[in-house]
Chains A and B, each alone.
Chain A
Amino acid sequence: MDNKIAETKIPPIRNGTVIDHVANGQSLNVLKILGVNENNIDSVISIGMHVPSSKTNGWKDVIKVEDRELDHATVGKIALIAPDATISIIRDYYIAEKFKVRLDDHIMGLARCSNPNCITNRGEPVVPEFMVEDRNPPKLRCVYCDRMLTNISENLL
């Protein structure tokens, strides 16, 4: 039922990725993670915002990206802002792979520390690192300054 509703609103794709069960209102942040802007789109991207979700009896967002399969780092970033999202890799209209996003226990380079006085924000040659203390909602502790990351969507790299 859930898929049917989504598919009637958003046409199926031949090849690419479907990101489903994105938290309601987060689809534009997911596009930011995908690095999509008006200058670099060379495939079709369809977005369903505020789509009914039978899984939660609430609302969700759905994104379909044609001709692109997401790498591990991108999936990790999506898990930061949409921890319930599922990823389906579509090949020739069939679901070739389907999995839930999942944050690793330790993440590097996906977000910057929200503490402006953290040494990682002072031009040092280091990649920000976080320990994942909770996955849903994500709670991340900076390995360097020990502070919890706040405003995750604003601090994505």
Chain B
Amino acid sequence: MDFYDKDLVSIRDLDREQINYLLDLSTEMIPYARGEKVKKVLDGKVLGNLFFEPSTRTKLSFESAAGRLGCTVIDVSEMSMTSMSKGETLADTIRMVDGYCDVIVLRHPHEGAARLAAKFSENPVINAGDGAGSHPTQTLLDLFTMKSAKGSLDGLNVVLVGDLKYGRTVHSLAEALTMFGAKLTLVAPESLQMPKDIFNHIVEKGCKPSKTPILEDVIGQADVLYVTRIQKERFPDPAEYQKVAGMYRIGNAILREAKSDMIVMHPLPRVDEILPEVDSTPHAKYFEQAFNGVPVRMALLCAILGGDINGQ
């Protein structure tokens, strides 16, 4: 599978076979991601970690992934600390950073930023989130978490709940799950339902998602419950926010309706959409999901930079 020197801008850049290859490679990375084994297969390589928007998990897990493989990280965490605050274009920033590293990881507030970076960079670019657009490495780690827990992605019954309109993780995830023949149920009030553009795309790819605002009606059939945060700032009326947020608060009471092996996932950070009482149940997979960011990003860096974890 040839990923060497390739960009990863959108999950649409990958097909099912390529995703499976990366997920298998991620499994091999787990002992290295935990520090139980050490192999510096990317020694001498440099990763440019450009984060022009706040991030905890994505930024740290890329740093951890690179560090575990012996890859040096140079980084930017705030736009105000760069020449972009002086009016430099992203294109110029990318051309400059491109000379300092072997791979660029970019988080940016504007949609399409990663595609632009890929056009101006000689080295490969990995999209770590561009505005409300794509976040393909989050999708890969979500798929990895599901596959690890359920054994296979084929035909999984996945319920996506919460903010399906603005939550970028669910857009890419829905598209990727469609490639594996998953059955999708979209649980959200009409005002926060999946955008028509994404919905039509997954329908064209053969998925027939069902929509409902009522979680109780569908939780019993779910293999995976993927919860997203409802963002307060999306609601002009605080009372409306409280009403909607309260509809999808996951606690042990609603989980009694679920299958015993159903898993609960969340891209984090959570606010109060999953109650702490769920954390100690076998359903809770969100912290494991956050850890999985490391082996998945290690696999991706190895694939793109040519590191062979099974070599001498």
Chain A interfacial positions (CB closer than 8 Å to B): 113, 115, 117-120, 122-126, 142-148
Chain B interfacial positions (CB closer than 8 Å to A): 10, 12, 89-91, 108-113, 115-116, 119, 130-134, 197
Minimum CB–CB distance for A138 against chain B, Å: 15
Minimum CB–CB distance for A117 against chain B, Å: 5
Tell me which residues across on chain B come within 8 A of A142, comparing CB atoms: 112
**A143, B131: Cα distance in complex, Å:** 15
Minimum CB–CB distance for A89 against chain B, Å: 36
Whether A119 contacts B10 by the Cβ 8 Å rule is no
**A10, B219: Cα distance in complex, Å:** 66
Interface centre among B90, B113, B115 (most CB of A within 10 A): B115
Closest Cβ neighbor of A144 among chain B residues: B112
Whether A117 contacts B197 by the Cβ 8 Å rule is no
Minimum CB–CB distance for A132 against chain B, Å: 16
Sample of 5 more A-B contacts, CB < 8 Å, known A119-B112, A147-B111:
A117-B110, A117-B132, A124-B89, A142-B112, A146-B12
**A73, B232: Cα distance in complex, Å:** 45
A126/B91 contact (C-beta < 8 A), A142-B112, A145-B111, A147-B111 known: yes
Q: List 7 A-B contacts (CB under 8 A).
A: A117-B111, A119-B90, A120-B112, A122-B90, A146-B10, A146-B111, A147-B197
Minimum CB–CB distance for A37 against chain B, Å: 32
Minimum CB–CB distance for A96 against chain B, Å: 40
Contact with B91, one of A115, A125, A146 (Cβ below 8 angstroms): A125
Tell me which residues across on chain A come within 8 A of B89, comparing CB atoms: 123-125
Whether A146 contacts B134 by the Cβ 8 Å rule is yes
Minimum CB–CB distance for B282 against chain A, Å: 37
Minimum CB–CB distance for A18 against chain B, Å: 37
Tell me which residues across on chain A come within 8 A of B134, comparing CB atoms: 146
**A123, B88: Cα distance in complex, Å:** 10
Whether B115 contacts A143 by the Cβ 8 Å rule is yes
Interface centre among A115, A123, A144 (most CB of B within 10 A): A144
**A123, B113: Cα distance in complex, Å:** 12
**A143, B10: Cα distance in complex, Å:** 11
Whether B119 contacts A115 by the Cβ 8 Å rule is no
Whether A145 contacts B133 by the Cβ 8 Å rule is yes
Mostly, the A contact residues are: loop
Tell me which residues across on chain A come within 8 A of B109, comparing CB atoms: 117
Minimum CB–CB distance for B113 against chain A, Å: 5
Tell me which residues across on chain B come within 8 A of A118, comparing CB atoms: 110-112
Closest Cβ neighbor of B92 among chain A residues: A125
Whether A126 contacts B119 by the Cβ 8 Å rule is yes
Tell me which residues across on chain A come within 8 A of B111, comparing CB atoms: 115, 117-119, 144-147
**A120, B109: Cα distance in complex, Å:** 13
**A148, B201: Cα distance in complex, Å:** 11
**A142, B197: Cα distance in complex, Å:** 12
Minimum CB–CB distance for B134 against chain A, Å: 7
Tell me which residues across on chain B come within 8 A of A126, comparing CB atoms: 91, 116, 119
Tell me which residues across on chain A come within 8 A of B112, comparing CB atoms: 113, 118-120, 142, 144-146
A124/B115 contact (C-beta < 8 A), A117-B110, A145-B133, A148-B197 known: no
Contact with A117, one of B10, B12, B131 (Cβ below 8 angstroms): B131
Contact with A146, one of B108, B110, B133 (Cβ below 8 angstroms): B133
Closest 9 pairs between A and B when the two form their complex, measured CB to CB: A144-B112, A145-B111, A145-B112, A119-B112, A119-B110, A144-B115, A119-B113, A119-B116, A118-B112
**A146, B115: Cα distance in complex, Å:** 10
**A142, B134: Cα distance in complex, Å:** 13
Whether B116 contacts A144 by the Cβ 8 Å rule is yes
Closest Cβ neighbor of B133 among chain A residues: A145
Closest Cβ neighbor of B109 among chain A residues: A117
Tell me which residues across on chain B come within 8 A of A115, comparing CB atoms: 111
Tell me which residues across on chain A come within 8 A of B132, comparing CB atoms: 117
**A39, B242: Cα distance in complex, Å:** 57
Closest Cβ neighbor of B90 among chain A residues: A124
Closest Cβ neighbor of A121 among chain B residues: B110
Tell me which residues across on chain B come within 8 A of A119, comparing CB atoms: 90, 108, 110-113, 115-116, 130
